[in-house]
Structure 1
Amino acid sequence: MLSLAQVYDDFSDGDFTNNPAWNGDTQQFVVNDDFRLQLNSDGEGVSCLATTFSINGETEWRFWIKQSFSPSANNNGRYYLASDQLDLKGPLNGYFLQFGEGGSGDAIELFRQQGDVLTSVCRGTEGFISSSFELNIRVRRNQSGNWEVGVDETGSGAYQIHATGFDNAINTSAYIGVYCKYTSSNAKKFYFDDVYAGPFVVDTDPPVLEYVSVVFNNQIDVFFDEAITLNSAVSLQNYSVDNGIGNPTSALRDEENFALVHLTFSDPFPNGQTNILIVDNISDLAGNISGQMTANFVWFTPAAYEIQINEIMADPSPPVALPQFEFLELYNRTNVEVSLDNWKLFIGNTEKAFENVSIKAGGYLILADEDAESELSIYGDFYGFSSFALTNAGQVLVLKDPGNAIIHSVTYTDEWYRDAAKEDGGWSLEQIDPENPCGGSDNWKAAENTYGGSPGAPNSVFAPNPDNTPPTLERVAILELDQIQLYFSEPMDSTGLNNPTAYQIDRGIGNPVQATPVTPDYSSVILDLENELETGYIYTINVLGEFNDCAGNLIDSQTGLEFGLPQAAVANDIVINELLYNPKDDAVTGVDYVEIYNRSNKIIDLAELVLATEDETSGQVESVKNISNDGFLMFPSSYLVLTTKPEIVQQQYFTENPDGFIRMASLPSYSNDNGIVVLATRGLEVIDRLAYDDEMQLPILNTSDGVALERVNFERPSDDRTNWHSAAETYGFGTPAYRNSVYSQSIQVDDPITVDPEIFSPDNDGRDDVLNISYQFDVPGYTANITIFDS
């Protein structure tokens, strides 16, 4: 006969030692902040708790279990349904469910234990719990000894039969309990809740409407507290929304979660206005029928930049004072609480979906791995993903609403810290001014909070930092003969960018037939042309529309941008013109750079060229680096500087041409003493080559640190050591992106020998430092005697 014994514990009192009392390894368990029983041990071992319960016939067990790891022979759990002993580690008589095993099987399995002998009663699906899991379990045993194991993966209360078996060898018990076997890395990753043991549970309560989640402007998800029947779920007359919306046009019960219904309406919900959903006549699986229920919901569509990525902890190690977890922080600029249900966060190519979470008006939300919740939630509202990883060096972060609209994007790099020490780890990147959400590196820097960051609170670097600079047309890349990509100097407001009539190209090309803004930051637009471009012409593109950047600054529509079809580079079309191989402060703050000059009459696409080094022994081209992964046109007679950090070069050297820089992801490694610089095609056909060493610098210099080596003349070969000289001191020892301080033109004269200048002063002041001796004879065989007089 059935005994009257019954156990229920949801740990809501925060105490597992009373009502009911759990005994065993009590020092190794806690009730966590979510009021769930959690293993809280150190090192490796086996930890158990048990509470009294006796069976004598028809019995039902229910419990929630979570294991945040992939089970193995040394990391697995048991839930004892029956035991005649309090000590679950030793010999006993009873039954338990096994969660995890060695090998790849990892099925849920019911065992009978007699002493130390285990006998399988029934086994579920192979591999069902091969990774971390969170499940609701129901086990039933009738008086004859028939067992049924049910699993509810969604929390709807609809248990799917997972395994069945027969065993009636043991009919009495004294305890139920939990058993955790673990290594040190998983000593806090077992969780249990909602424990019930007693008679079969008979459902006499009708379903309850728990909450409504807004999916889109005409779609909502309706959540009930238990599984409901298909017929009542799909009946359109059971649902209605006020404000003139009426009944839905579609009602679908979720295929997995029977407590969830997806509703679609013909008319959109009013933006920012409270709506009332009325639900009636809903039946649960036991036949209990609800009365009328209501729930309020608001469809609010944040505009772009109203929800922002506001703080980035990409490298938390070594920690300063914050918990050692990577995290992002979102900030809600609006005065309305915003539901993030069905929003998406893209971290590089990885998509993360939000479920059942909102961000408060003017509030912050910390995003991280779910394992970080207990430590990061003390700083503010927290939302955890099952996995979460950020790249230290940087990547693209994109936040999208349910309609797939981009609300905010950030492409961060480790250069944004502006502090070499903080770049090494433990400090977050913080946005300076939320009113400048597209400011990029100009609006981010390392946190100043002594904890290393300020998750869940206003940023420690917060300050007004407005963008008052109008955007400009930056460059054009050729994609096809009839397709180009127009780049702007900064991210743009996407409004109007897709209007083809806003762009005008001369030489009969006219307006493009299609304009496609490039996501996620809209800093470029792809233009499809009606007619093909032709080689040998230089075209000019103008914008006719009133385009503005994120801050509202209008672009100057009067300024056009030139472009043309590129031609293939051959040897010496582009030459190496200046080299900084030994930067200031020995690369602690300084960086190398290579300046190139287009001496041809061609437009050349630098996406087809690479920068490299050469092995001095084998002559093999090595350490090949693409100059540009996107099209980058270099015009005749132009200079460009190739470096990893243009802003550092421009801080340390004056330049007349700040637009003449290309930021490369990395440069080949050029020694401070000697080396070989190679400019080549992607097929490694050499365009120019410079073998340099420190002896090519001016001998009177005390040091070559921070002194660029400059080419004297474009027409003389790069391997002519006399064609190179130290940059003049009066020019700051470097002239990046403009004419060299020691530049000297080729002299065309009729005399057999010409000296220019007749008086020279090799003092590196930038004036008459280099003497050019030009000669031309009809026949070879002459020798020259040169005498130099001082003053």
Structure 2
Amino acid sequence: MKKIFFALLLLPLVTLSQVVDNFSDGDFTNNPTWTGETTEFIVNTAFQLQLTATIPFSGPSDTAYLSTPNSKIDETEWQFWVKISFATSANNHGRVYLVSDQSNLEGPLNGYFVQLGDYGDGKDSISLYKQSGNVFTKIIRGTIIYTNNTTNIFRVKVIRDNLGNWQLFSDATGGNNFSLEGNCSDNTFTNSNFFGIFCKYTSSNSTKIYFDDFYVGPIIVDLTPPTISSISVVSTNQIDVLFSEIVETTTAQNINNYIANNGIGSPLLALKDATNEALVHLTFQNSFVNGQLNSLTISNIKDIAENTMLSVSRDFVYYFVKQHDIVINEIMADPDPVVGLPAYEYIELYNKTLFPISLKGFKLIFGTYTKVFPDSASIEPNGYLIVTKNNAVQLFTQYGKVLGLFSNIYSLTNDGQTIILKDPSNNIISFVSYNIDWYHDSSKKDGGWSMEQIDPLNPCGEINNWKASTNAKGGTPGNKNSVFANNPDNTAPSIVRVGIINDSIIQVYFNESLDSLKLKNLSNYSINNDLTPVSVTLNSPEYKSIILTLNTYIQPSVIYTITITDTIADCVGNLIPINSTARFALPEDAFINDIAINEVLYNPKDDGVDFIELYNRSNKIIDLKTLNLSSFKNNVLSEIKPISSDGYLMFPGDYTVVTTDIAKVKSQYYTSNPNGFNEMTSFPSFNNDSGSVAISKKNGDIIDLVRYNDGMQFPLLNSTDGVSLERINYDRPASDLTNWNSASESVGFATPAYKNSQYSNGEQIESPITVEPEIFSPDNDGFNDAVNINYTFTTSGYLANVTIYDANGRLIKILVKNELIGTIGTFSWNGINEDNEKAKIGIYIVYFEVLDLNGSVKHYKKTCVLGAKL
């Protein structure tokens, strides 16, 4: 990136009106000088201009800008590089002002800017806008770059001639292989005073916009011939050649411009890609020898500026199948009762590649069984293979290609198990660890229906990428899955926690399966306080955790931080965010009341599971593998279950939910702390009306004990199914019946792994109701579009009614009616009345009424103003 713009610095006739800045000088105060909100930006260690905005701030979002003098507009080219580490939205996006008559880019001005992401229209793209004062007009809408990913890196080029003809280009990889986004003609403004950047962001994204490689100057004439960026082997006789830029069609499709050694010769066909004009597909007559090193010589290829490349040779190798080229795509674990398919189990494999694959020597492993594929076994390009029992082959031939691999003694487990496909070298090609919840349909999990993968390009999607077949026969063996859909994994992986195996070995847990090759690299892990990993052990087949052996002993009373670099990726290449960290330390013994039972879901929804929330109210770090969960009957601990077999550190102030099905709890309740969960293999049986919950040490010492019953729930609830019982204050005794209440309706009747909705520390509050902002304008511009009605009470158990009236006392909107609320929360009004129309501009009264169980009623009135832009 840097060397490209170093060359631009050498361009002749560079005038003072140009802007060239790649921040390699480490600042933005000189050469050129940027002004504006300078405290909100830095030049980071990668020599990029980075937003580092001050938080907190009022309102849902804030803005920041920098600008620098520039008068170039005619016969001008603008270039810049951008990284946005979030999916853009109306409150989270950026702009690059190409032309402005004002240095302040937050106010009215005349000019043009490139919009980087959603500007309130829901279009996550890049576009060219004209700004006339406070009026914004889109003049080019981009069609290539989309900014709805968690990480968006791209480069933009804009060209304007002296007649006002604009062209917008982009490279979605951040390189210099530009494609045309669109063009237009607009000559409204013909003078410029400033060039600059503008960022709009919420607090969570206040450091996640980056800029680099700014160039504003004469249109750059291409004098550089194309080069080879990469050569990819697509199949047994096909190669893709990616050039550094768009190549001219005639020379790119001339087969005589390509020749391979080892008797391969020139291709039969050279064809430019229909979408990427820098990509050429080569098809040869003969297949490549597997594993043989070959060389491809390319010459006489021109770019669109007629620059001709010199002859160059590149090596390539045709190689064996790699991980996830074949995926386990469908599982019939329980064929009884029959719906429409043969009454036999089967596993369907799907070949995602463009070439046939021999399965000679491959192994299929499930449970204690390992079966080796015969020499003749193969799977066609984009094809399916039904693997079933030997005596069922004829029954399945009508559905597609079948292989009998098992005798009747082999059987899949109905409730779930791990299935692994390995190549002859024991490399894992595909695996699934299914369970009965993967059906997502209680009516189909009892038999006769298969589980199908939704998106084969998301091979590690687990429960989120599988569901019960919707085909009337109960499955689709040998054919495209009935539930097939685009279901990509666009979420970066993260560290969940670190467990202590002993005083020199730790285990690092991740939230999803990761690329095993990346995990093996020791340089990806660093630890502070003089600890260094000296070896890494991978836990296959899921690769969700690693074991690190350390160079020395973990010291008592020292909190360590392990840092992961961004070179670790999941199965589809999403990178762990830069400098992801997790804490660990040697744990201490837990004593009575160190851990509080803070929330109990003892009567789950019909298809739900129990959970217990724990809170570490001590100043210790406590390992849950030293504790048990149990019931307490006849003054004796019973149904004693270990909370964690492999270690789970709770730091002071941590909330942790223990349950038998984390995914189920998360699917039914919101949590702001998705890593604060620990899954147990089995749970004590807690009655749905009354019972007891105990946390104890391995020696039987009780840490905390709760005796619950339905009488502790809020009595006006119609049902307590799926309603958790929350502890109001963890510093008050668990035995105090007045210290418990039902979770608030406004949070969904449970708060797993985060602060209880009914929590109260008993402090007096001057005014329990506040309204902000006092003036709001529901015009969907992303600024003060709703009024927030905040409440904070010192006691729990209130029913709330919230009504909006106009200044004359007329009913405008019933916002909340008889809703069980927590001690702290917010309701919002977007300005829509009972007729589903926007209310008129004016003063409105917020009438907030709360009732308690004793019949006591409290009334609060607040005012707000519904405004609009003039």
The TM-score range, normalised by the shorter chain, is 0.5 to 0.7
Closer, same or farther: CA 463–474 of 1 in aligned 2, 3 Å: same
Larger Rg: 1
Q: For 1:633 and 1:689, how far apart are their aligned partners in 2? A: 21
Q: For 1:757 and 1:383, how far apart are their aligned partners in 2? A: 66
- Equivalent in the alignment of 1:364: 384
3-state secondary structure, aligned to 2:480 = coil
| Structure 2 residue corresponding to 1:718, chosen from 724, 731, 734 | 734
Closer, same or farther: CA 598–355 of 1 in aligned 2, 3 Å: same
Closer, same or farther: CA 369–680 of 1 in aligned 2, 3 Å: farther
Contact 2:760–2:823 (CA<8 Å) still a contact in 1?
no
- Equivalent in the alignment of 1:670: 686
Q: For 1:434 and 1:698, how far apart are their aligned partners in 2? A: 47
The Cα shift of 1:762 comes to: 4.7
Q: 5 Å matches for 1:233-248? A: none
Contact 2:658–2:680 (CA<8 Å) still a contact in 1?
yes
* CA deviation profile, 1:18-38 (whole Å, cap 9, x unmatched): xxxxxxxxxxxxxxxxxxxxx
The Cα shift of 1:505 comes to: 0.2
Closer, same or farther: CA 504–651 of 1 in aligned 2, 3 Å: same
The Cα shift of 1:394 comes to: 1.0
Q: For 1:496 and 1:736, how far apart are their aligned partners in 2? A: 33
Closer, same or farther: CA 606–456 of 1 in aligned 2, 3 Å: same
- Equivalent in the alignment of 1:458: 480
- Equivalent in the alignment of 2:629: 611
Q: For 1:744 and 1:487, how far apart are their aligned partners in 2? A: 34
Q: 5 Å matches for 1:461-476? A: 461-476=483-498
- Equivalent in the alignment of 1:136: none
User: What RMSD in Å do the two structures reach over aligned CA positions?
Assistant: 2.9
Q: For 2:717 and 2:366, how far apart are their aligned partners in 1? A: 50
| Structure 1 residue corresponding to 2:529, chosen from 507, 510, 532 | 507
User: Which residue identity lines up with residue 513 of structure 2 in the other structure?
Assistant: P
Q: For 2:714 and 2:600, how far apart are their aligned partners in 1? A: 14
3-state secondary structure, aligned to 1:572 = coil
The Cα shift of 1:649 comes to: 3.1
3-state secondary structure, aligned to 2:693 = strand
| Structure 2 residue corresponding to 1:745, chosen from 744, 761, 764 | 761
- Equivalent in the alignment of 1:766: 822
Q: 5 Å matches for 1:693-708? A: 693-708=709-724
Contact 2:476–2:482 (CA<8 Å) still a contact in 1?
yes
- Equivalent in the alignment of 2:410: 388
Contact 2:762–2:794 (CA<8 Å) still a contact in 1?
no
- Equivalent in the alignment of 1:413: 435
Are positions 1:337 and 2:356 aligned together?
yes
* CA deviation profile, 1:132-186 (whole Å, cap 9, x unmatched): xxxxxxxxxxxxxxxxxxxxxxxxxxxxxxxxxxxxxxxxxxxxxxxxxxxxxxx
Q: For 1:757 and 1:652, how far apart are their aligned partners in 2? A: 27
| Structure 1 residue corresponding to 2:444, chosen from 422, 447, 455 | 422
* CA deviation profile, 1:50-85 (whole Å, cap 9, x unmatched): xxxxxxxxxxxxxxxxxxxxxxxxxxxxxxxxxxxx
**Structure 1 spans left out of the alignment, 5+ residues:** 1-242, 245-268, 275-297, 749-755, 770-787
Q: For 2:795 and 2:740, how far apart are their aligned partners in 1? A: 20
Q: For 1:759 and 1:382, how far apart are their aligned partners in 2? A: 66
The Cα shift of 1:499 comes to: 1.8
Closer, same or farther: CA 629–349 of 1 in aligned 2, 3 Å: farther
The Cα shift of 1:590 comes to: 3.0
3-state secondary structure, aligned to 1:667 = coil
Q: 5 Å matches for 1:105-144? A: none
Closer, same or farther: CA 434–339 of 1 in aligned 2, 3 Å: same
Q: 5 Å matches for 1:25-44? A: none
Contact 1:499–1:514 (CA<8 Å) still a contact in 2?
no
- Equivalent in the alignment of 2:612: 594
Q: For 1:379 and 1:744, how far apart are their aligned partners in 2? A: 62
Q: Identity, % of aligned pairs?
A: 48
Are positions 1:376 and 2:432 aligned together?
no
- Equivalent in the alignment of 2:55: none
Q: For 1:726 and 1:471, how far apart are their aligned partners in 2? A: 34
User: Which residue identity lines up with residue 436 of structure 2 in the other structure?
Assistant: D
Contact 1:570–1:687 (CA<8 Å) still a contact in 2?
yes
- Equivalent in the alignment of 2:302: none
The Cα shift of 1:697 comes to: 1.7
| Structure 2 residue corresponding to 1:480, chosen from 482, 494, 502 | 502
- Equivalent in the alignment of 1:312: 331
Q: 5 Å matches for 1:173-572? A: 270-271=289-290, 301-356=320-375, 357-384=377-404, 385-386=406-407, 387-509=409-531, 511-544=532-565, 546-572=567-593
Contact 1:300–1:338 (CA<8 Å) still a contact in 2?
no
Closer, same or farther: CA 553–452 of 1 in aligned 2, 3 Å: same
Closer, same or farther: CA 370–740 of 1 in aligned 2, 3 Å: same
Contact 1:582–1:705 (CA<8 Å) still a contact in 2?
yes
Are positions 1:645 and 2:665 aligned together?
no
Q: For 1:758 and 1:341, how far apart are their aligned partners in 2? A: 70
The Cα shift of 1:731 comes to: 3.4
User: Which residue identity lines up with residue 464 of structure 1 in the other structure?
Assistant: N
Contact 2:369–2:410 (CA<8 Å) still a contact in 1?
no
* CA deviation profile, 1:435-467 (whole Å, cap 9, x unmatched): 111111111111111111111111111111111
3-state secondary structure, aligned to 2:754 = coil
Closer, same or farther: CA 570–366 of 1 in aligned 2, 3 Å: same
- Equivalent in the alignment of 2:210: none
Q: For 1:513 and 1:759, how far apart are their aligned partners in 2? A: 53
The Cα shift of 1:758 comes to: 9.5
The Cα shift of 1:599 comes to: 0.9
Q: For 1:500 and 1:516, how far apart are their aligned partners in 2? A: 10
3-state secondary structure, aligned to 2:580 = coil
- Equivalent in the alignment of 1:576: 597
Q: For 1:611 and 1:632, how far apart are their aligned partners in 2? A: 14
User: Which residue identity lines up with residue 390 of structure 1 in the other structure?
Assistant: L
Closer, same or farther: CA 761–738 of 1 in aligned 2, 3 Å: closer
The Cα shift of 1:532 comes to: 0.9
Q: For 1:565 and 1:350, how far apart are their aligned partners in 2? A: 40
The Cα shift of 1:699 comes to: 2.6
Q: For 1:571 and 1:759, how far apart are their aligned partners in 2? A: 27
Contact 1:761–1:768 (CA<8 Å) still a contact in 2?
no
Normalised TM-score (structure 1): 0.56
Closer, same or farther: CA 789–377 of 1 in aligned 2, 3 Å: closer
The Cα shift of 1:305 comes to: 0.7
Contact 1:612–1:622 (CA<8 Å) still a contact in 2?
yes
Q: For 1:789 and 1:431, how far apart are their aligned partners in 2? A: 54
The Cα shift of 1:727 comes to: 2.2
Q: For 1:714 and 1:724, how far apart are their aligned partners in 2? A: 10
Contact 2:758–2:796 (CA<8 Å) still a contact in 1?
no
The Cα shift of 1:567 comes to: 2.0
* CA deviation profile, 1:79-131 (whole Å, cap 9, x unmatched): xxxxxxxxxxxxxxxxxxxxxxxxxxxxxxxxxxxxxxxxxxxxxxxxxxxxx
Q: For 2:749 and 2:641, how far apart are their aligned partners in 1? A: 26
Contact 1:762–1:768 (CA<8 Å) still a contact in 2?
no
* CA deviation profile, 1:203-233 (whole Å, cap 9, x unmatched): xxxxxxxxxxxxxxxxxxxxxxxxxxxxxxx
The Cα shift of 1:273 comes to: 7.0
The Cα shift of 1:416 comes to: 0.9
User: Which residue identity lines up with residue 392 of structure 2 in the other structure?
Assistant: A
Structure in which a larger fraction of residues adopt strand = 2
User: Which residue identity lines up with residue 446 of structure 1 in the other structure?
Assistant: A
Closer, same or farther: CA 272–379 of 1 in aligned 2, 3 Å: farther
Closer, same or farther: CA 518–580 of 1 in aligned 2, 3 Å: same
**Structure 2 spans left out of the alignment, 5+ residues:** 1-261, 264-287, 294-316, 765-791, 800-819, 826-853, 858-870
Closer, same or farther: CA 270–681 of 1 in aligned 2, 3 Å: farther
